[in-house]
Amino acid sequence: MSMQPDEILLDAEDRMQKAVDVFKDALQGLRTGRATPGLVDTVRVNYHGSPTPLKQLANISCPEPQQIVIRPFDQSIVNEIVKAIQASDAGMAPNSDGRLIRINVPSLSTERRRELTQRVGKFAEDSRISIRNIRRDANKHAETSEKDKIISEDQMKTTKDDIQELTKKFEGTVNEQAKQKEQDIMDE
């Protein structure tokens, strides 16, 4: 498919940003040893037969650094929320009094911290691979556009250089965020 250079770049930038956003969401779900709503707000709860993110069903707060409190909008789904949290890979034990759900977030062991930093590394690598795949697609679009005489050879080369700059920028963002998250995990 032939495209103009600015269309190719906008498409690549948009897709690379989405890859970074997916990476950010994955990082939010990893715990550091401090309680945050991000540890449970994406847990999917069976609500009237459809899996719904917990943050749409309850108010989630962290009154203390080691505790998460969940206040469901609908009291009848407290048990469903407890089941969903237990089934998630968050590794936390919720306590319910029938109205509220409390989760104590224990400190992380050294072994668990290592596992989590490895997961951060894997998420980062998956994100970098996505970004590189987007770069490859964008470069193909530039080559096709040049072959179809939509753009000149010089424009194709300039477009490819711009695509490489975008790739560097977004990979840099992923690397910085991964490094920060690993630091947060090890320092808690």
Q: Which residues lie across from 70 on neighbouring strands? A: 60, 101
Question: Residue 63: what pLDDT?
Answer: 87
- pLDDT (tens, 9 = 90+) of the chain, 188 residues, equals 678 999 999 999 999 999 999 999 888 777 666 777 777 877 888 888 888 888 888 898 888 888 889 999 988 888 888 888 888 766 778 888 888 999 888 777 888 888 889 999 999 999 999 999 999 999 999 999 999 999 999 999 999 999 999 999 999 999 999 999 998 888 76
| Domain CATH for 144 | 1.10.132.20
Which residue, 58, 75, 104, sits at the end of a domain?
Answer: 104
* Predicted structure pTM score: 0.69
Structural domain for 42, as ranges: 37-104
Question: Residue 188: what pLDDT?
Answer: 61
Which residue, 60, 82, 104, sits at the end of a domain?
Answer: 104
Query: For residues 127 and 19, is the Cβ–Cβ distance under 8 A?
Result: yes
| Reduced 3-state DSSP string for 12-67 | HHHHHHHHHHHHHHHHHCCCCCCCCHHHCCCCEEEECCEEEEHHHCEEEEEEECCE
Q: Are residues 150 and 122 in the same domain?
A: yes
Question: Residue 27: what pLDDT?
Answer: 85
Q: Are residues 115 and 156 in the same domain?
A: yes
Q: Are residues 52 and 95 in the same domain?
A: yes
Q: Are residues 46 and 69 in the same domain?
A: yes
Q: Are residues 167 and 133 in the same domain?
A: yes
Domain count for the chain, please give it. Answer: 2
Query: For residues 151 and 4, is the Cβ–Cβ distance under 8 A?
Result: yes
Q: Are residues 118 and 85 in the same domain?
A: no
Question: Residue 15: what pLDDT?
Answer: 96
Q: Are residues 67 and 157 in the same domain?
A: no
Q: Are residues 23 and 71 in the same domain?
A: no
